[in-house]
């Protein structure tokens, strides 16, 4: 009776998911029964999917106890007969949710149990049937960052435990990565913008990456030298390996590589902080090609490389000026310079890629390779009452280190930040299966899709240094830069400053009207005219392209207000937001004004 109606509505509202059901037979072991209260329940064998007494009340209790009122989106592991999903949607009608159900035959049978039109006609409920765990991530990412709630239907969890645990692992890693990104933005947002504006004269004179794409044509191997503890095992081999493969160093490993007598073919830097430039203090790198994100700390460019190439910017300000600079190609950013270095290797067309020093953990409880800037800093801080071992212990302890599987079949300490990087690499291994990548660190964290290779095996690779150098000269064969780039950049910045000034004035008007609204509400006076003016201001702000630049450094505050986690009065939230918009506009206008003389 219910199956045809439910299936018809489901096809109309969720056509992609419904196609999976076309050739799916209903589960024969799912049996329906009437509960004590008369509603339908179900069991598989002796195990009940829902309460035998009152499945509706059971679902309501689950939602009341398991979901916070501040939830931004809810994810259900398992559908059952839909009672929990329906209870959630009735209690939180404006909150989106996603249902993840791997068993299509179970779901197909559930359609026969009761009328589910309320669920299937709700546009805020999405279904992911028998799909890869990664498919839900774009759904989560499409909503403003907030409190993501997970509801596990315990009665079906055990049946598909491996699937749900894998899915939950991917989801939790994604959420932690988003939290890390948000915290990083709150910490470094203004610094990124300051550095980028300071680097504008150099950006106008330097090439992008267009001449690098596939220059090695998939014919030559490459070695990415990251800065993990196992790097010291590779360093003695580097002189021989440099004759056999393209060498790509990251900033943290650069000095150690140069100390072996090897100059990397490419060096990649992308950190905005001064202290990170200290990794380069002892590097003699006049012949390396420096690849940088535009917001890297300016000191780097006074220290490294005669040839500097810029990738596309990861941030709104940088993207806004790209029509003038031409630096369009963005390298992958998984949160670590090693992730960007791997993507550079892929972009260069080196195959296969070998990763050295990519431990993503703390083998032998080591945090850095010997001789690294960090280890030396620990030694400089070492004295009798706080020896260097104390700093390593504190680093591991405060970071919440925990064991994960290692490449050699054992376990190694890692932390949540490293696990996020591991997830990024594993995702890339699936997306780019034509780019074979090997890991040279036996004691480091195991990365699925990146098998271990013993470094000693690389000695048998053919010598190809002459060919590497020949192809590398293409980087220097580009024609001269457009002499009008500086003028184009000035024109863009003048327009941007004008737009930011207009946004600031709108924010000032919004703040004034918000205070007027607050007073009118207190005095019990009409408010509809003021509200209409505020809505017009908000719409005007949204129309400015410069809003993306202005909102970048205040995004954590916007997310906080949007999530509703602070339970703040809406008027107070509006006043705060207008204040932040005004201050952000002032910050950018001041930087741009100071940049004009340096570009003229």
Residue 380: predicted pLDDT? 42
**The predicted structure's pLDDT at residue 385:** 47
Residue 392 has pLDDT above 70, yes or no: no
| pLDDT exceeds 60 at position 478 | no
Closest CA to 293 of 256, 257, 319, 263: 319
The two tokens of residue 266 are 């490419």
For residue 568, what pLDDT is reported? 66
> Does residue 129 surpass a pLDDT of 80?
yes
Query: Among 332, 292, 268, which residue's Cα sits nearest to residue 196?
Result: 292
373: Cβ contacts below 8 Å, ≥ 6 apart: 252, 255, 278, 279, 281
Query: In terms of pLDDT, which residue wins out, 347 or 136?
Result: 347
Q: What is the pLDDT of residue 379?
A: 38
pLDDT, residue 565, reads 55
Distance between alpha carbon 10 and the CA centroid of its chain, in Å?
33
Q: Which pLDDT tens digit goes with each residue over 510-561?
A: 999 999 998 888 888 888 898 999 999 999 998 988 888 988 888 877 777 7
Angstrom distances, CA of residue 498 to CA of 91, 492, 551, 588: 46, 10, 16, 11
CA angle, 429 then 433 then 438, to 5°: 60
What's the confidence (pLDDT) of residue 119? 96
d(CA 517, CA 259): 66
CA distance 279 to 191: 19
Determine the Cα–Cα distance for residues 103 and 100; give it in Å rounded to an integer: 9
2-159: what CATH class? Answer: alpha beta
Determine what percent of the chain is predicted with pLDDT higher than 70: 92
- Between CA 249 and CA 224 the distance in angstroms is 6
For residues 315 and 71, the model is more confident at 315
Q: Within a 13 Å sphere around the CA of 280, how many CA atoms are in the beta-carbon half? A: 28
Percent of the chain with pLDDT over 90: 58
What is the structure's pLDDT at 175?
84
Average pLDDT over residues 89-100: 93
Q: How confident is the model at residue 374 (pLDDT cuts 50, 70, 90)?
A: very low
**CA gap 470, 480 in Å, rounded:** 21
Mean pLDDT across 226-238: 94
pLDDT-based confidence at residue 391 (cuts at 50, 70, 90): very low
Whether 314 and 330 have beta carbons less than 8 Å apart is answered as yes
* pLDDT average, residue stretch 107-114: 94
**Residue 136: what pLDDT?**
84
Provide DSSP, 402-462.
EEEEBTTSSEEEE-HHHHHHHHHHHHHHHHTTTS-EEE--TTSB--TT--B--GGGGGGSP
Q: Tell whether the model's pLDDT for residue 71 goes beyond 80.
A: no
pLDDT of residue 305: 67
Average pLDDT taken over every residue of the chain: 87
Q: What is the pLDDT of residue 254?
A: 92
| 190-191-193-197 Cα dihedral, nearest 10 degrees | 140
Do 506 and 587 touch, CB atoms closer than 8 A?
A: no
Q: What is the pLDDT of residue 184?
A: 77
What's the pLDDT score for residue 393?
45
User: What is the per-residue pLDDT for 383?
Assistant: 45
Q: How confident is the model at residue 3 (pLDDT cuts 50, 70, 90)?
A: confident
| Structure tokens given for 204 | 């106008």
State the pairing for strand pair 266-269/246-250: parallel
Minimum mean pLDDT range among 62-71, 94-103, 195-204, 373-382: 373-382
What integer pLDDT is reported at residue 473 of this predicted model? 84
For residue 141, whether the previous peptide bond is cis, meaning omega lies within 30 degrees of 0, is no
Mean of the pLDDT values across residues 29-34?
93
* Residue that wins the pLDDT comparison between 208 and 71: 208
| Residue 567 pLDDT greater than 80, yes or no | no
Distant-in-sequence, close-in-space partners of 349: CB < 8 Å, separation ≥ 6: 213, 214, 215, 216, 217, 218, 219
Full strand arrangement of the beta sheet holding 147-152: 125-129, 97-101, 71-77, 147-152
Average confidence (pLDDT) over 64-82? 87
- Closest to 365 measured CA to CA, from 389, 330, 341, 332: 389
373 confidence band (pLDDT: 50, 70, 90): very low
Q: For 245-273, what is the mean pLDDT? A: 94
Average the pLDDT over 321-349 and give the result: 91
Q: Where are the beta strands (DSSP E) in 78-230?
A: 97-101, 125-129, 147-152, 222-225
* Residue 206 CB neighbour total at 10 angstroms: 21
- Give pTM, 2 decimals: 0.79
Lowest-pLDDT choice from 22-36, 352-366, 465-479: 465-479
Q: Is the pLDDT of residue 387 over 70?
A: no
- Domain range annotation of the chain: 2-159, 191-477, 485-599
Q: What is the pLDDT of residue 195?
A: 95
């Amino acid at each position: 009776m219910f199956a045809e109606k439910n299936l018809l509505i489901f096809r109309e509202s969720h056509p992609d998911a419904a196609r999976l059901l076309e050739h799916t037979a209903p589960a024969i072991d799912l049996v329906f029964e009437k509960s004590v209260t008369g509603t339908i329940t179900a069991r598989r064998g002796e195990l009940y999917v829902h309460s035998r007494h009152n499945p509706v009340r059971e679902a309501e209790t689950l939602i009341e106890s398991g979901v916070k009122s501040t939830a931004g989106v809810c994810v259900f592991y398992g559908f059952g007969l839909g009672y929990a999903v329906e209870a959630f949607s009735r209690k939180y009608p404006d909150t989106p949710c996603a249902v993840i159900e791997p068993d299509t035959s179970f779901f197909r049978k559930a359609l026969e149990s009761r009328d589910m039109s309320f669920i299937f006609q709700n546009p805020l409920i999405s279904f992911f049937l028998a799909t890869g765990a990664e498919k839900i991530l774009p759904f989560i990412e499409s909503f403003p960052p907030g409190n993501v709630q997970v509801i596990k239907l315990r009665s079906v969890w055990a049946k598909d435990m491996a699937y749900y645990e894998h899915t939950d692992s991917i989801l939790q890693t994604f959420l932690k990565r988003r939290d890390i990104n948000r915290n990083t933005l709150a910490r470094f947002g203004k610094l990124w913008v300051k550095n980028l504006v300071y680097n504008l004269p150099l950006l106008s004179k330097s090439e992008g990456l267009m001449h690098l794409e596939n220059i090695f044509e998939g014919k030559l191997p490459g070695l990415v030298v990251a800065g993990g503890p196992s790097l010291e095992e590779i360093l003695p081999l580097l002189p021989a390996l440099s004759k056999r493969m393209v060498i790509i160093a990251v900033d943290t490993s650069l000095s150690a590589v140069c100390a072996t007598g090897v100059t990397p073919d490419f060096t990649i830097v992308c950190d905005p902080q001064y202290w990170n430039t200290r990794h380069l203090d002892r590097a003699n790198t006049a012949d390396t090609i420096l690849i940088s994100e535009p917001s890297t700390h300016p000191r780097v460019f006074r220290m490294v490389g005669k040839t500097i190439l810029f990738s596309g910017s990861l941030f709104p300000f940088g993207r806004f000026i790209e029509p003038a600079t031409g630096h369009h190609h963005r390298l992958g950013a998984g949160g670590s310079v090693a992730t960007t270095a791997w993507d550079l290797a892929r972009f260069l067309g080196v195959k296969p890629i070998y990763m050295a020093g990519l431990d993503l953990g703390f083998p032998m409880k080591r945090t850095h390779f010997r001789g690294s800037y960090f280890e030396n800093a620990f030694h400089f801080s070492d004295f009798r009452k706080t020896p260097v071992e104390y700093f390593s212990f504190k680093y591991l302890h405060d970071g919440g280190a925990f064991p994960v599987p290692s490449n050699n079949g054992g376990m190694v300490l890692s932390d949540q930040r490293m696990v996020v990087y591991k997830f990024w690499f594993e995702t890339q291994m699936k997306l780019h299966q034509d780019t074979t990548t090997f890991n040279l660190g036996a004691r480091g964290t195991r990365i699925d899709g990146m098998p271990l290779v013993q470094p000693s095996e690389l000695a048998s690779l053919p010598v190809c240094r002459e060919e590497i150098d020949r192809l590398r000269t293409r980087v220097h064969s580009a024609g001269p830069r457009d002499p009008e780039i500086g003028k184009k950049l000035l024109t863009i910045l003048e327009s941007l400053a004008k737009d930011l000034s207009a946004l600031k004035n709108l924010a000032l008007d919004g703040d004034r009207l918000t205070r007027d609204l607050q007073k009118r509400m207190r005095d019990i006076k009409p408010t509809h005219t003021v509200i209409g003016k505020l809505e017009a201001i908000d719409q005007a702000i949204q129309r400015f392209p410069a809003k993306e630049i202005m909102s970048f450094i205040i995004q954590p505050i916007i997310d906080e207000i949007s999530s509703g986690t602070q339970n703040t009065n809406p008027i107070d939230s509006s006043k705060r937001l207008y204040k932040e918009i005004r201050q952000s506009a002032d910050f950018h206008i001041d930087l741009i004004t100071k940049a004009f003389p340096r570009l003229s």
